[in-house]
Amino acid sequence: MVPDRKVKLAVAGNPEYLSTIWAGQGLMATVSGENMIRMFSIASDENYVLTLAEPAFGGRLIQDKINTIAYNQKSRTLCGGTKNGYIVMWKCKQMSSNSPDSSDGWEARPPQKC
């Protein structure tokens, strides 16, 4: 085996809530108890964030924190669970199988209270 590339990831927040998953082809999503999901595109060497300040969330979650994440590859939906009991979701807007290189490639959906 020969490495294709090396990437260094830096994440702030609470290490107790640190969780990283694949959220598409070559796209990693990381949460660490902040009000955002950090996205790292390995292929394009780009990074961006999806935050709780989305207009679809109505401003009511800006002080909340995302503790856990999941990704459904079939529906291309990224979900986050917050400290205050909300489920927040972003749907990939791209029709191709490529992963978004910016937050513009995701559409926030209204939050659900658990």
Domain ranges of the chain: 15-113
- Please give the Cα distance from 55 to 49 (Å, whole number): 15
b (16+ CB within 10 A) / e for 43-74: eeeebbebbbebeebeeebeebbbbebebeee
> Which tokens is 30 given?
């990381």
Kindly report, residue by residue over 5-61, the tens digit of the pLDDT.
Answer: 666 666 777 788 899 999 999 999 999 999 999 999 987 888 999 999 999 998 889
Task: Please give the pLDDT value at position 16.
Answer: 81
pTM comes to 0.89
- Please give the Cα distance from 68 to 54 (Å, whole number): 18
**DSSP 8-state code for residue 103:** G
Task: Please give the pLDDT value at position 63.
Answer: 94
